[in-house]
Amino acid sequence: MNRRVAAALLLLTTLALPLHADFATIARKIEDQRGVKRIWIPFLGLARVMVWAVSPEGVHDFQLATFEGAGDVDPHWLHELMRTQAGPGYMPLVQTWSRRSNEWSFIYAKPTPNGERFELLILTRDDDDTVLVRVAVDASVIARELRDRPSKVSDMARR
């Protein structure tokens, strides 16, 4: 009985944890930059499981990485990193740059094969925070946010 339960849990975990090499590759390459440190976030794994179970506001999965010291990393290099490493099917949705400060956002999107969801890959910097987020969200939620609050789409990813 214990072997069957263990095998079922292993199978469930394998199916529930899709591989997102694009997120991991980008996070690792940012962290490999001189002076950059990835910040550990307590209970993030638990929060991810809760999102899988509840799907708040149409969000079905997410990954999050925050970085300290990434303010000195060339944003043009980061833009190129997103463009080349986002993964197959990702297309740029939003790319913003501030002329007055070191603030920028790159948002890439990829529809799922059935078209009901989008995966968003977001890399953003404001003041001292550099954040990489991958989120799987209902297409209707993205459409509503783009229609109602187009300038606030990156705020949605932070929620």
Question: Distances in Å between the alpha carbon of 102 and those of 45, 59, 105?
Answer: 30, 29, 10
What pLDDT was estimated at residue 14? 42
Confidence (pLDDT) at 6: 46
Strands 129-138 and 117-126: antiparallel
Task: Give the mean pLDDT of the chain.
Answer: 79
Task: Indicate the pairing of strand 104-111 with strand 117-126.
Answer: antiparallel
pLDDT tens-place string over residues 108-142: 999 988 888 889 999 998 877 889 999 988 888 87
Q: Rounded to whole angstroms, how far apart are CA atoms 98 and 116?
A: 33
pLDDT at 46 over 60: yes
How far is the C-alpha of 34 from the C-alpha of 6, rounded, in Å?
42
pLDDT band, residue 150 (cuts 50/70/90): low
DSSP class per residue in 56-111: GGGEEEEEEEEEESGGGS-HHHHHHHHHHHS-TT-EEEEEEE-SSSS-EEEEEEEE
Q: How far apart are CA 123 and CA 154, in angstroms?
A: 9
120, 142 Cβ separation under 8 angstroms: yes
Q: Could you tell me the CA-to-CA distances from 62 to 93, 103, 111, 122 in Å, in that order?
A: 18, 23, 15, 11
